Amino acid sequence: MPRGDKSSYTDKQKRQAEHIEESEKKEGRGAKAAGRIAWATVNKQDGGGKKKATKKVAKKKSTAKKTAKKATRKSAKKAAKKSTRKVAKKKTTKKSTRKTTAKKAPAKRTTKKAASKKAAKKSTGKRTAKKTTKKAAAKK
C-alpha cells in the first residue's frame, strides 16, 4: 500500500475527513493543509484505518501478537517475582533496623536520666559543702 492510500479507511472515516477538510478551508487554510489536518484528526480519533485486513495477513499478525503477548507476560511475571522478593527483603531489613533503634532509644534515655541525676547530686553536694564552710566561717 503506497503512502497516502486511503483504502484502509471506512466510508464513515472518509466522510469525517471530508467534513473536517471543508471546515478547515472555511477558516482560511489551504487545500493541502486542510487535507493534512483532516486526516490527522481522523487518525487521532480512530487510530488509523478501520477496515479489516485480508485473512492471510490477519492470521500472521495474530500469531505474532500472541507470541509477543506471551513473551511480555513471562517477562512481567519474572519482574513481578523479583520485585516482590526485593520488597520482602526491604521490609525485613526495615523491621530489623526499627527494632534495633527502638531498643537503643530507651537505653539512651536512661543514660541521660542517670547523668542528669548524677549532676543534680553533685550540685547539691557542692551546695551543702558551701553551706558548711559558710557556717564554720560564721562561727569563727
- How far is 17 from 33, CA to CA, in rounded Å? 12
Q: Averaged in consecutive runs of 10 residues, what is the pLDDT profile of the chain (140 residues)?
A: 83 94 95 94 88 63 69 74 68 61 56 71 69 76
CB atoms within 10 A of CB 42: 26
- How far is 140 from 131, CA to CA, in rounded Å? 14
Residue boundaries of the structural domains of the chain: 7-53, 68-98
pLDDT confidence of residue 100 = 55
- Contact between 19 and 41 under an 8 Å Cβ cutoff? The reply is no
